Copies of this chain bind each other. A is one copy, B any other.
Amino acid sequence: MKPVIVLVEPQMGENIGAAARAMLNCGIDELRIVNPRDGWPNERADAMSSGAFEKMPPVKVYDTTAEALADCHYTYATTARIRDMIKPVLTAKEAALDARTRESQGQKIAYLFGAERAGLSNEDVALSHAIITIPVNPDFSSLNLGQGVLLCAYEWFQIGAVKGVPRTSTTELVAETELPAPHAELNNLYNRLEEELRAGHFFRTQEMQPGVMRNLKNMLSRAEMTSQEVNTFHGIITALTGKKNKGEQN
């Protein structure tokens, strides 16, 4: 089980190519890109990849970060700035250890990287479960995108696979219920929640809505809900709103 690298709105093809090379150097071969500035495929990315793309499954391109993360159970957002959000903050090494442990339990892991200058939006960070901050020289801390990917991938590769408990069909069933719900289920829940909250005049102004939802997602992502718990949450919404049909959409 290997992590997925997700680049959100990367600007320069060179950096996408460098990221691909760096991740494959470290045995990671699944690259997803959200809304690349110059489209996809990209010649400059090819030129900088040193042939990495030919040895990887095809890169997948998405319109939104939420879609790119749909099948992932746990996401690390890489960011140079600590945001005003309550989330675990890990070094690249700590994240790698955590990722290996989760992978051994069957979780699909994503590392999320923002655009070259701006980094990740608060919305993208809110979707993530934890923050990675790579410890570097505080007087010169700006890492190139490809180099940020390299350091995260390198730490993951150095650790080597954590041996999970061998699965029988029985333990698999047991373990499955203990995974965090994939992002797709959470997004579904968040969207439904937002809709219901809007209908219920929860947001005092329209301008407030994005920020409030971000805070809610931050809070809920820390819970690491299982699929069953997400269903339970849907049930709560259904019960509270009294709309039985909507509850069944999940």
Contact = CB atoms under 8 A, between A and B. Distances in A.
Contacts of A140: 21, 24-25, 52, 55
A143 B25 contact: yes
Contacts of A25: 136-137, 140-143, 147
A183 interface: no
Interface string A149-182: 0110010011000000000000000000000000
Contacts of A158: 93, 135
A160 to B, nearest CB: 10
Interface residues of A, number: 27
B137 A26 contact: yes
A247 interface: no
Interface in A31-80: 50, 52, 55
Interface string A95-117: 00000000000000000000000
A22 interface: yes
Interface of A: 18, 21-22, 24-27, 50, 52, 55, 93, 135-137, 139-144, 146-147, 150-151, 154, 157-158
